[in-house]
Amino acid sequence: MVRPRPAEFEKTKIVAENRRARYEYFLEEFFEAGIALTGTEVKSLRFGEGSIAESYAEVKDHEVWLVNSNVPEFSHGNRFNHEPKRPRKLLLHERQIEKMRTAVTREGMTLIPMAIYFNGRGRAKVELALAKGKKMHDKRETEKARDWKREQGRLMRERG
């Protein structure tokens, strides 16, 4: 059974994407969060640098933190440059934080950053997903379904 797609957030410029997450996890619910950044981090992100491939989010003391994301140092940042892999605070409503905290502690879910982007107003945002890990047989099933869809497309094009 196909799950309905969630409403997309307004993404004008995507800086970093975690494409592997859709293969590794069942994605349940999506959230949009702001990021508390320093000046050189914003400049570095505007140049399209940054990675969230190995990162995750965690809830600590009623705050959500983005851990292990890499925003490289800004080339013209001199001594005011930032630390590339520092934990970054995510800005969310209390109700959203509480929902995430209960899902992570009770249901064994994880918070996965899906994308870092700039919205229409020029603010840096992170798309977070509440996710459950897939087992190996689930990954194989996903791969089979994707291959079958590709094959169906080929057959339909051939028959016209």
Q: For the domain 13-134, what is the CATH superfamily, name and number?
A: Small protein B (2.40.280.10)
Using one digit for the tens of pLDDT, what is the confidence trace for 100-138? 999 999 988 999 999 999 998 889 999 999 999 888 888
What whole-number percentage of the chain has pLDDT above 70? 96
Burial of 45 (0-12, 13-18, 19+ CB in 10 A): buried
Using one digit for the tens of pLDDT, what is the confidence trace for 1-58? 666 665 677 788 899 999 899 888 999 999 999 999 988 899 899 998 899 999 999 9
Domain ranges within the chain, ordered by starting residue? 13-134
Give the global pTM. 0.81
